[in-house]
Amino acid sequence: METLNVSILDDNMFFLKLFHERISRHSMQLELGSGNRINIQSYTSYLQFLDQFDNSTDLVFLDFDLGGGFNAIGVIDELKKGKYMPKIAIITEHQGISKLPSDSLKYIDSYIKKDNYVIPKSCLLIQDLMEEKFSA
């Protein structure tokens, strides 16, 4: 049995709990069908996330605005300092982030708009990554 490790970082506690619950429900169905495990960790603090981050993380759902003047680009800049970079999915209400002048944008694998489709799009991303990781 292998494990897919997913982290969620969002400073909005309400959204974080809802997102975590929905993703967990979908992940349980994927686990039953595959015999593998999906481990999901949630964080409201980017400092706690960065402190606990290790190279076992496969995917990070990252809110763009993290409060206190910190954003996803700052988190990616910190992750780049290490030797391991997980897949990054930015979840945001903003448009045009992909046009920001930052070298860190090349480390972003997906942009998911925070709208009515954020949960299904995120679940598909987990499913695709699971197939990619466990079929190799």
Cβ partners under 8 Å of residue 104, min gap 6:
73, 76, 77, 80
The 10 Å Cβ neighbour count of residue 4 is: 23
Please tell me the distance from the alpha carbon of residue 88 to that of residue 35, in angstroms, as a whole number.
Answer: 25
Q: Which residue has the tokens 């996330």?
A: 49
With contact defined as beta carbons under 8 Å apart, do 86 and 60 qualify? Answer: yes
pTM (2 decimals)? Answer: 0.91
- Residue 95 CB contacts under 8 Å (≥ 6 apart), including other chains: 113
Per-residue pLDDT of the chain (136 residues; tens, 9 = 90+): 789 999 999 999 999 999 999 999 988 888 777 778 999 999 999 999 999 999 999 999 999 989 888 888 899 999 999 888 999 999 988 766 666 656 777 888 998 999 999 999 999 999 999 888 888 6
Question: What's the start-to-end Cα distance of the chain, in Å?
Answer: 14
